Amino acid sequence: MSRPSCTRRPSGIRPPAPRGMALLMAIGIIAFIAAAVVVSLRKVAAESALQAQERRKREAHFAAEAGLAEARELTRVLREEGNTNFNKVIEKLSKQYNGQAPANGYVQGEPGLPSGPPNGNVFPWYEAIPWTPYTLAAASSGTAVDSDVTTAFLEMNGAAGRRILDFPAQERVLYRVFLVDDNDTDDRTVDSNNRVWLVSVGEVRGRDGTQPQRVIIRALITSGAVPGGACSTEDTNGAANNGEC
């Protein structure tokens, strides 16, 4: 019987590696790079969303400021010459909103708005300015600022007749302003100390029904015709009697 033959392997030569190892290493590296890219993209998207939210917040604030300034002038006009209180303003805003007397001419039936009959802790809010677009473009006259201008782009030209390309045009930016009597007496439909609150809401509405960005500011105003009466219990800065309670 012959012995089985054996072949000696030369020293210094390793056995071949298992097949597929290089493929697994390549897949692992690709997966790692893909994960890093996804993390980076999510971080960039988060930063972009934060910047967009901050921009919308500033736009809403500017819109609220514009509404407050417009409401100040509106109350001055509606108050009429010679009146020292805001009762005429309340009466006219009430009739403008729903054609009713001041006692029932407040904003009603809107969720989230603390407006109701003047009893208990609920008191009436009167709509001074309805939702108004905060924009510099007039739809009826191209992109003119003044609605009385009928020539499109007339007010968009510079001194040399060239078009102003960086003219701002806000989109979906609105404001709304309410008038609320301060806590001077139990009857919040009658102004007895020549002071009322103006509450301005600036809003930037997102696309496709996304959550809007809102900013609310308020100001206690006085008629300015005569020194105001005693400060109400809502005022915290003393009784200066000059509209700066």
Q: CA-CA-CA-CA torsion for 29, 30, 33, 37, nearest 10 degrees?
A: -170
Spatial contact of 175 and 64, defined as CB atoms under 8 Å apart: yes
Query: For residue 200, what pLDDT is reported?
Result: 96
- pLDDT reading at 161 higher than 50: yes
Contacts 24+ apart (CB under 8 A), 114-122: 115/178, 118/186, 118/187, 118/188, 118/189
Average pLDDT, the chain: 78
Query: Tens digits of per-residue pLDDT, 70-128?
Result: 999 999 889 887 788 899 999 999 988 888 877 788 898 888 888 887 766 678 999 99
Q: What is the pTM of this model?
A: 0.68
